[in-house]
Amino acid sequence: MDYMKIYNKWLESDYFDKDTKEELLSIKDDKKEIEDRFYRDLEFGTAGLRGIVQAGTNRMNLYTIRKTSYGLARYFLKNHKDASERGIVIAHDNRNMSREFCMEAAQTFALAGMKVYYFDDLRTTPMLSYSVRKLNCIGGIVVTASHNPPQYNGYKVYGENGAQIMPDVADKVLSEIEAIKDFSDIPVYKEEYASKITLLGKDIDDDFIEAVEKNLIRKEMIGKYAKDFKVVYSPLCGTGRVPVLRVLKDSGFEHVIVVPEEEMPDPNFAGIKTPNPEESVALTRGINLLKKEDADILIANDPDCDRVGVAVKNSAGEVVLLTGNQIGGLLTDYVIEGMKEKNRLADNACIIKTIVTSEFGSDIAKAHGVDVVSILTGFKFMGDKMTQYAKDGSKTFVMGYEESYGYLIGDQCRDKDGVVATLMIAEMAIYYRSKGKTLYEALIDLYEKYGFYREKTNSIYLEGKEGSEKIDRIMKYLRDNTFEKISSIDVLKLEDFKKGVEGFPKSNVLKYHLKDGSWVALRPSGTEPKIKIYIGTHDPSDEIATNKLNEIDKFMLDVVNSIK
C-alpha cells in the first residue's frame, strides 16, 4: 500500500488515539518524514525491533508493540503445546516509553491466552535471559534499545533457552506478524485477562546475583588488596547500578565510586548523545573522575547492562581506553589460567567468539589447550551453541565474547552479561595490581608473548530508505567484484556467508582472509542503519601491525565510498 494511504488511514481511523493523530498532523507538510515513517513496517529481525519512538508503522510505538506481541504470541501458541501455561517473562530498561511498552506487551500476551511474568521496575538484559530458564518460560522479551541514542527504543525476543531467537524462528514470527492485516484484528484487552499477569518478587534477583558470584575465581585475593584499590563505575544512567554495585560489594570491593551524574536511571542519559561504552565520549565524566580520584580502573555498562567499557592507566599514568578485543583477550587468559589454578577447567573446555572478533583471545585459548568455536555475529548464535553443549556434553562452555564489548563468563544466562563481566574485569584488575601491574601492563605482556593484534571497526551510517538501498548496493558490488589484493596484500580467500560457509548459517557477511594473516569483514548491522567494516592485523612488531591496519582501512573506505 502507498505510504500516503497508510498515513491517512492512521489519521482517519477511530482505532488510533488523539495524541498519535496530533503528532501525525504536525508532519502533514513533510512528505519525506511521512515516507520514512510509513514506507514499511518496522523491520522485525533476529534482534527483534529497534527504532525511533514516534507514530508510524516504521517506528516504535504502542501500536507496533501490540502488533508484534500478538504475532509473537500466535507463533508461541502454534508451535509449543505448553506455551500458554509456561508463559513469557518481560523486562524493560529506563528509556522513554519502556514501561508503557512493557505493559502493552504484557496485556497483549495475556489477551492472547498466555501467562505473563513482569518485573516491578528496571532490569538488565542478562537478568531477563536468566529469568527465562529460571521460570521455565517459553520465551522472553526485554524492552530496550541497548546503547542507541535516547530517541530510540527496542524489543528483543528470547527463546526458551534464554538466548535471542535464531533467524529461522524470527522468520516464522515475522510471518505471524505480517498475517495481521489490520490493527483492529487484535482483540481488546479487558480486566478479566489480568489474572494471567504475575508481578515477580525479589527472590529471582537474589538467585541471579548468586549465580553471577559463583564465577569468581580468586575471591580471597580481593579481600587482601581491596583497601588500596579504587573502582570508578558508571551504569550510564541505565539498569546496571543495582546488580553491579551489589556483586562488587558482596565480593569484597571496598572503594567503588559511582559517577554521580550517571548513577540514576535517566531516559535522556544525562546529556550523553549515545550511551555506548564503546565510544570514548560516553566515558568522559568517568575518565575525569578516574583522574580526580587517582583510581585504578573505570568500568561502564551500557543502559541495558549487557556491554562493558573499560579505561585504565598505562605505565606513564595516562588514561587508556581498552578495546573490546583487548578486554576479551585479557579475560580469556585470566579466566583460563585462574580456572586451571583452582582445578575448575574441564578437559573439554571451550571459548566461543564471533567471526569478526580478533584472533587475540583465540590464540591465547589455544595456547592453553582450550578449544575455540567461531560463530556468526550475535550472541544468539553463542546461546545456541551453549544449549547444544549442555544437551550433548560435547564441550564445556567457559566464556564467550565479541569485539563490540559483550562478554559472558559462566552459564547463568545465554546473552552478553555486563554484570558478570564487570565483576570479573574488576577481579582481574585487582589480581594484576597484587602482582604490581596495571591492567594495561598485563595487556602489553600478552602482546609481547603472542604478538601485537590491531583491529578497527568502521561504521558507515546510511539512514532511511535511500540508505538501506545504498547498503544493498555496496554488498552487491563487493560480491560482483573480487579483489586479488587488498591494499598491497594478496587475498588468500573470500568467504561469502550469504552463499554458504560450512558450519555456519547463511548470513549477509563477507570475510576476506589475506595472505599475511590479516582479515577484513563487512556486514550490514542488524540493529542500526549502517554497514560495518571490520579489520584485523597481527605481527610481532606493533608498528608493522598498525601500519598494515591503516593501509587496509584506507583501501576499504575508498572502495566503499566510491560505490554510488
Summarize pLDDT for 293-345 with one digit per residue, the tens.
999 999 999 999 999 999 999 988 999 999 999 999 999 999 999 999 999 99
pLDDT for the residue 465: 79
Total domains in the fold of the chain: 3
pLDDT for the residue 1: 66
Give the SS3 label for residue 100. Answer: helix
Q: Which three cell numbers stand for residue 86?
A: 509456561
Q: Which three cell numbers stand for residue 167?
A: 533467524
Residue 210 lies inside a defined structural domain of this protein: no
Using only C-alpha atoms, what is the Rg of the chain? 24
What is the amino acid identity at position 491?
V
* Domain boundary pick from 416, 450, 484: 450
Considering the domain architecture, whether residues 396 and 469 belong to the same structural domain is answered as: no
Residues constituting the chain = 564
Considering the domain architecture, whether residues 536 and 549 belong to the same structural domain is answered as: yes
User: How many angstroms separate the CA atoms of 29 and 26, rounded?
Assistant: 8
Give the SS3 label for residue 296. Answer: coil
Task: Report the DSSP pairing between strands 139-143 and 255-258.
Answer: unpaired
What is the amino acid identity at position 337?
E
Contact 113, 229 (CB under 8 A): no
Residue 144 lies inside a defined structural domain of this protein: yes
Considering the domain architecture, whether residues 387 and 430 belong to the same structural domain is answered as: yes
Side-chain-side CA neighbours of 16 within 13 Å: the count stands at 23
359: CB partners within 8 A, 6+ apart: 453, 536, 538
pLDDT for the residue 466: 86
Considering the domain architecture, whether residues 413 and 514 belong to the same structural domain is answered as: no
Q: Report the C-alpha dihedral over residues 286, 290, 293, 294, rounded to 10 degrees.
A: 180
User: How many angstroms separate the CA atoms of 163 and 47, rounded?
Assistant: 11
Residue 552 lies inside a defined structural domain of this protein: yes
Q: Which three cell numbers stand for residue 51?
A: 527504532
Contact 239, 122 (CB under 8 A): yes
Give me the DSSP letters along 387-443. Answer: HHHHHH-S-EEEEEEETTTEEEESSS-SS--HHHHHHHHHHHHHHHHHTT--HHHHH
Considering the domain architecture, whether residues 527 and 416 belong to the same structural domain is answered as: no
Q: At what angle do helices 324-341 and 418-434 cross, to 10 degrees?
A: 70
pLDDT for the residue 298: 98
Considering the domain architecture, whether residues 434 and 485 belong to the same structural domain is answered as: no
Considering the domain architecture, whether residues 403 and 466 belong to the same structural domain is answered as: no
For residue 559, count CB atoms less than 10 angstroms from its CB and return exposed for 0-12, middle for 13-18, buried for 19 or more. Answer: middle
* Residues annotated as catalytic (active site), given as ranges: 146
* Domain boundary pick from 433, 450, 467: 450
Residue 206 lies inside a defined structural domain of this protein: no
Give the chain's end-to-end CA distance (angstroms, integer). Answer: 28
User: How many angstroms separate the CA atoms of 378 and 469, rounded?
Assistant: 23
Considering the domain architecture, whether residues 75 and 190 belong to the same structural domain is answered as: yes
What is the amino acid identity at position 283?
L
Q: Report the C-alpha dihedral over residues 272, 277, 280, 282, rounded to 10 degrees.
A: 10
User: How many angstroms separate the CA atoms of 39 and 328, rounded?
Assistant: 40
CA nearest to 123, candidates 99, 103, 101: 99
Residue 292 lies inside a defined structural domain of this protein: yes
* Domain boundary pick from 201, 233, 257: 201
pLDDT for the residue 525: 85
Q: Which three cell numbers stand for residue 49?
A: 525491533
270: CB partners within 8 A, 6+ apart: 237, 261, 262, 285
CA nearest to 247, candidates 275, 278, 215, 276: 215
Contact 138, 87 (CB under 8 A): yes
Measured from the Cβ of residue 182, the count of other Cβ atoms closer than 10 Å reads 10
Which residue carries 549465580 as its cell? 211
Domain CATH for 510: 3.30.310.50
Q: Which three cell numbers stand for residue 436?
A: 604490581
Considering the domain architecture, whether residues 430 and 526 belong to the same structural domain is answered as: no
Considering the domain architecture, whether residues 193 and 305 belong to the same structural domain is answered as: no
Q: For residue 13, what are the β-bridge partners?
A: none
Q: Which three cell numbers stand for residue 189?
A: 484487552
Residues of the chain with pLDDT under 70: 1, 527
What is the amino acid identity at position 272?
I
Contact 163, 458 (CB under 8 A): no
Residue 282 φ/ψ, nearest 5 degrees:
-70, -15
Give the SS3 label for residue 414. Answer: coil
317: CB partners within 8 A, 6+ apart: none
Q: At what angle do helices 418-434 and 125-134 cross, to 10 degrees?
A: 110
- The domain in which residue 271 lies consists of 221-450
Q: Which three cell numbers stand for residue 236?
A: 550510564
Q: For residue 549, what are the β-bridge partners?
A: none
Residue 478 lies inside a defined structural domain of this protein: yes
Considering the domain architecture, whether residues 409 and 471 belong to the same structural domain is answered as: no
For residue 22, count CB atoms less than 10 angstroms from its CB and return exposed for 0-12, middle for 13-18, buried for 19 or more. Answer: exposed
pLDDT for the residue 88: 98
pLDDT for the residue 45: 81
